[in-house]
Amino acid sequence: MDDFVLSIDQGTTGTTALVFDRDCRVRGRGYSEFTQHYPRPGWVEHDAEEIWRVTLRAAAGALARARAEAKQLSAVGITNQRETVLAWERKTGEPVGRAIVWQDRRTASMCDELIARGLEEKVRAKTGLVLDPYFSGTKLAWMLDNAPDLRARAAGGEVVFGTIDSWLIWKLTGARAHATDCSNASRTLLFNINTLAWDDSLLKLFGVPRTALPEVKPSSCVFGETDPEAFFGASVPVAGVAGDQQAALFGQACYTEGMLKNTYGTGSFLLMHTGRKPVESREGLLTTVAWQIEGEAAEYALEGSIFITGAGVQWLRDGLQIISRADETETLARSLDSNEGVYFVPALAGLGAPHWDAYARGAIVGLTRGTTRAHIARAALESICFQTLDVVAAMERDSGIKLKELRVDGGAVGNSFLMQFQSDILGAAIAVPEVTETTAAGAAYLAGLSTGFWKDRDEIAARWKVARRYEPRMSDEERTRLHRRWLRAVEHARGWEREEE
């Protein structure tokens, strides 16, 4: 009997694997980190072969802790860091260089050139995205321009491209499937979210040959069977794939219009479910495919992508070394009655939504002789909440829907100071679920629905439970005052690197 679903959550710094049972409970967990490569300032790369090795290690650990064998799995689901892209040899499966990570900013000038040519509105109308180095299209164009003979070899079918989900599908199926799902495809700048297909004019704009791209499939369908030689001796359907943030929206059971979640990780990503028609943003947000269930219409979301949230706390720990553990920030923040005018704008990789400034850089403002590491720690936590507020306000203006509850997940939800301040500054309830690894859960649910492991979304939604709820305590006047000063701090960070050049 098929007793479990395995979810592979391939993140920016490590891979998590979780084994879920029919009651949506986690029965086993495995995790392994991998190397971050920074060959130049602003460049971020990953070794795809290392990611594959780490993925197998995490999956083996999860199965062992669940006391399960691969043959007991009903399905495998995959969720992944989305805009990271790589090329590999079709014949051998060998990567052509390292993967270029979503955080990488090397194509900022290329984006500037396209914007100067007046192309951003054309691209936005088809993709729902802005022209920013964040997305895969300019990364692929850079690869094609800078790797010897890559363009000719890709056009000739010798080399293929894909985001990390495609790479894992390829490896899991023993090179029998070169595929992606529509949620990941919608993050490439090459995919038309209205027709749900690769777009010829966009492929021409970025110089990407169609022959090298994966087949686009629904998020919940069978992509292929695992190769027993590659996957613990078992043939299991790879049956659910979604980009990490869309998977988290699905894992949070946000299945109706207006439901909203925020994932607190390296960055933070807010998604609002907008139904079966894309909602065009005029507020600096992204319109993206949320998911597609096989046999059904695609569903869409508005997204606000914040580049640096948890990574800002990591920087305090590893870069400034003013804390030794991330959880110290809560004690330090609580040691103060207020931020005393100190604000940290963590634009360490530029600013994402709704500001979109690739040339912004980090700034700490309001320092005095009385400023201590407690102020910096508190400012780092508050910056996560202020950035979230900026995105939520933009979503409310775009959608016409007023936020009542924000469902949250990710590592930071255990920080009660952060969660309470988030509720305060939003003026809305914060709901922390019992299962906080909702990204992996979403991939598992999509896979389990495809194979009949779960009957429908109603069955999954009925099992979603709140572990803790935070209600706002701050006055409207104080909320407005704090946010106004935050926006002043953001202005100091904007355009900094452009001025330096």
Last residue of a domain, one of 217, 243, 269: 243
Is the same domain home to 288 and 402? yes
Last residue of a domain, one of 243, 277, 297: 243
Q: Is the predicted pLDDT of residue 499 greater than 60, yes or no? A: no
pLDDT tens-digit profile of 344-363? 999 998 998 899 898 899 99
Residue 1 has what pLDDT?
A: 53
Residue 449 domain flag: no
> Which residues, at least 6 apart from 333, have a Cβ–Cβ distance to it below 8 Å?
374, 377, 378, 381, 382, 417, 418
Of all residues in the chain, what percent carry a pLDDT higher than 90? 89
Is the same domain home to 92 and 177? yes
Is the same domain home to 33 and 181? yes
Residue 411 is given by DSSP the state G
Beta-bridge mates of residue 345 = 363
Is the same domain home to 179 and 307? no
Q: Is the predicted pLDDT of residue 241 greater than 90, yes or no? A: yes
Per-residue three-class SS string for 325-381: CCCHHHHHHHCCCCCCCCEEECCECEECCCCCECCCCCEEECCCCCCCHHHHHHHHH
CA atoms within 13 A on the CB side of 262: 33
Q: Say whether pTM exceeds 0.85.
A: yes
Residue 265 domain flag: yes
SS3 25: coil
> Which residues, at least 6 apart from 109, have a Cβ–Cβ distance to it below 8 Å?
none
Which helix (H) or strand (E) element contains residue 140? helix 136-146
Q: Is the predicted pLDDT of residue 500 greater than 80, yes or no? A: no
Is the same domain home to 127 and 88? yes
**CATH number of the domain enclosing 407:** 3.30.420.40
d(CA 29, CA 65): 7
d(CA 357, CA 361): 9
- Look at the chain and report how many structural domains it folds into: 2
Is the same domain home to 150 and 272? no
Range of the domain at 71: 4-243
Confidence band for 284, pLDDT divided at 50, 70 and 90:
confident
